[in-house]
Amino acid sequence: MSLLRTSLAAIALGLAMPALAQDVIRIGAPLPITGPLSPEAVKQQRGYDLWAETANKAGGVRVGDRRMRVEIVYVDYQSNTPRAVQAAERLITQDKVNFLFSPFGSGAAKAASTVSEKYQVPTIAATASSAQVYDQGYKYLFGTFTPNDTLTEPLADIVKAQAPGVNRVAILARNDLFPLAIAQEMEKSAKARGMRVVYSEKYAIGTLDHASALTQIKAQAPHWIFATGYTNDLVLMRKQMADLKIEAPIVTMIAAPAYQEFIDSAGKGAENITSAAWWHPAVRYKGTDIFGTTEAYVQAFKAKYRADPDYGEASASAAGALLQMAIEKAGTLDRQKVRDELANLNVTTFWGPVKFGPTGQINSLVPPVFQIQGAKPIVIHPPEVKQGDLRLGVQ
C-alpha cells in the first residue's frame, strides 16, 4: 500500500513539474510495516516522507549542476530481522536504490548493515543507538543516535546534583538489544557516582506480569527506579507499580515517555517520570540543512501531520536531511564519494550539531533529559534549552 502511495505521489510530483529533470535519487527504506513493530514504522515513514516532500518541493536535491527528485522505496520486512536483511538486499540488487536507510532498531540495523557493507551502499540508521551496532568496523554505516551512555550520564549527573540523598538504584530491563544495552550503561553510570545498585534484572520479551519483579524491588526500597522497554511494557509496569503501591523519589523510564501514547495510556501515573531522548521539539538549533531551524522543522511537521514530532520521527527526517547535505557536498551520486562526505560532515542541523565519529555513530549531540510535568514532557537538561527543573517523588 505504501509503495503504491509513494509511487503515485512520485508520479504526481513528476507530472506537476515537467520542467525538472526526470532523474530520481532512490533511497531504500526497509520498515516493519506489519508485525509488532509497526507503530514504529509509521513514525519512521512520517519522518522520511516529510523530508522527501520538503526536498522535492524545493526543486530537488542538487547533484552537481542538476537537481534530482528524491524517491523513497519502502519494503515491509514484517518486524522479522532475517527478512530485514533480505529486504535490504532486495532493495540494493533488485530495486537498484542509490542509498539505504536502516531498518528499525539496533538489532535489525546491525543485521542489515552487513548487507550495506558488502555492497558498499551508504546507509544511515535513524533509530540505532547501541554502540554494539557500530562495532564491526564497517565504513558505510552511519547513525543519528548517540551512544546509550550519552543518555545515562547526564541523567545520573542531574540526579546526583539535585537529589543527593539518592543512592539506592533498582534496574529492570527488557531482554532486547537496546533496552538491555542502555540498562547496562545506567548501571555503569550509577556505580561511577557511588550509588548502590540494589536490584538489576531483565525480563523476557512478551512478559505480561511484572508483579514478582516489582515486589522484589519494593522490598529493596530503592530511591531511583530505572526501567527500560517499549511503550506497552512500561505502561504495564507503571500500572503494576501503582497496584503494589511502589513509590520512589525518582522513576526513569526509557524510551516510552517521549511518546504521547505513553502519557495518554499511563494517565496520572506518568506524572514526574523522567526520561531522556536524543531530541525534543523544545531544543533550539539553527541548522544549515533543508529544514533550517528546529522551530521550522516542528512547524513543517505540524502542518503536515497535525501533531508535534517525537524524536523517532525527527531522526528519520534528519537522516534524509543529512544524506541530502552529503550528496550536495559531493556533487555526485557516487557511493564512495557520498560516503566520504558523510564521514567528514561537521554541520549544525535542526536535529543538533552533527559529526559522525570513527565508527559511523554520531558523537556530537547533547541528548535532552526531560520529565513529565502536567502531562507534558518538560526539558530539564541541557541548561541552554531547559524549560523546568527536576521534581522529586513518584507515587
Partner 1 sequence: MLYLQVLLNGLVLGGLFACIAAGFSLVWGVLNVINILHGSFIVLGAYAAWYGHALWGIHPFVSILLVAPLFFALGYAIQSGLLNRVIAAPVLLTLTLTFGLDLMLSNAMLAAFKADFRKLVLDPPLGVLSLGNIVLPVDRLAAMALALLLTLLLYLVLSRSRTGRAIVAVRMDREAASLMGVNVYRTYAITFGLGALMAGVAGPLIAMIFPISPLTGPVYLGKAFVVCVLGGLGSVPGAMVGGLVLGVVESFAALWFGPEHAVTVAFALLIAMLVFRPTGLLGRKGYE
Partner 2 sequence: MSNPAMAALHTAARRDLGLACLLFALMALPPFVADTYILRLGTTMLMYAVLALSWNFIGGMAGYPSFATAAFFGLGAYAGGVAQKFGIGMWLAWGFAGLLALLFAAALGLALLRLRGHYFAIASLVVAEVLREIINSATDLTGGGMGLNLPLRTGQSVEQQADFFYWTMLGLAAVAMAATLAVQHGRLGFGLRCIQQNESAADMLGVNTTATKTSAFALSAVFTGIAGAIYASWVNYIEPPDVFDVLYSVKPIVMVLLGGAGSAFGPIIGAGVFLGLEEIVWRRFLEVHSGVLGLLIVLLVLFLPRGLAGIARRRARGHTP
Give residues in contact with partner 2 (CB under 8 A): 1-3, 33-34, 76, 78, 80-82, 85-86, 89-90, 93-94, 107, 110-111, 114, 117-119, 130, 132, 135-136, 174-177, 180-181, 202, 204-205
213 contributes a contact to partner 1 by CB under 8 A: yes
Cβ(170)–Cβ(384) under 8 Å?
A: no
Q: How many CB atoms lie within 10 A of CB 289?
A: 23
Taking CB under 8 A as the binding criterion, the range among 21-29, 37-45, 64-72, 296-304 that sits at the site for partner 1 is: 37-45
Judged by beta carbon distances under 5 to 8 A according to partner kind, the member of partner 2, partner 1, none in contact with residue 33 is partner 2
Pick from 9, 38, 162, 188 the residue near partner 1 by CB under 8 A: 38
Judged by beta carbon distances under 5 to 8 A according to partner kind, the member of partner 1, partner 2, none in contact with residue 85 is partner 2
Cell of 126: 535513524
**Residue with Cβ nearer partner 1 (86 or 207):** 207
* Buried b / exposed e along 239-257 (16+ C-beta atoms within 10 A): ebbbeeebebbbbbbbbbb
Judged by beta carbon distances under 5 to 8 A according to partner kind, the member of partner 2, partner 1, none in contact with residue 366 is none
Residue 290 CB, nearest distance to partner 2 (Å)?
Answer: 30
Pick from 54, 116, 150, 231 the residue near partner 1 by CB under 8 A: 231
Which residues have C-beta within 8 Å of that of residue 331, sequence separation ≥ 6?
Answer: 63, 64, 337
| Eight-class DSSP state of 394 | B
**Residue with Cβ nearer partner 1 (231 or 324):** 231
182 contributes a contact to partner 1 by CB under 8 A: no
Rg (CA), the chain: 21
Which residues have C-beta within 8 Å of that of residue 70, sequence separation ≥ 6?
Answer: 24, 25, 27, 51, 52, 55, 56, 60, 61, 320, 324
Cell of 178: 537496546
Residues binding partner 1: number (CB under 8 A): 36
Taking CB under 8 A as the binding criterion, the range among 11-19, 53-61, 206-214, 359-367 that sits at the site for partner 1 is: 206-214
307 contributes a contact to partner 1 by CB under 8 A: no
**Residue with Cβ nearer partner 1 (162 or 207):** 207
Ramachandran area for residue 276 (φ above 0: left; ψ -120 to 50: alpha; else beta): beta
Stretch 336-395 residues interacting with partner 1 (CB under 8 A): none
Judged by beta carbon distances under 5 to 8 A according to partner kind, the member of partner 1, partner 2, none in contact with residue 107 is partner 2
Residue 132 CB, nearest distance to partner 1 (Å)?
Answer: 19
Taking CB under 8 A as the binding criterion, the range among 9-17, 31-39, 63-71, 185-193 that sits at the site for partner 1 is: 31-39
Q: How far apart are CA 388 and CA 328, in angstroms?
A: 39
Q: How many CB atoms lie within 10 A of CB 264?
A: 11
Cell of 235: 505502561
**Residue with Cβ nearer partner 1 (135 or 247):** 247
Q: How far apart are CA 377 and CA 32, in angstroms?
A: 27
Residue 239 CB, nearest distance to partner 1 (Å)?
Answer: 8
Cell of 124: 544511515
Stretch 236-295 residues interacting with partner 1 (CB under 8 A): 236, 239-240, 242-245, 261, 265, 267
Residue 24 CB, nearest distance to partner 1 (Å)?
Answer: 31
Residue type, 290: I
| CA proximity to 142, closest of 359, 321, 287, 288 | 359
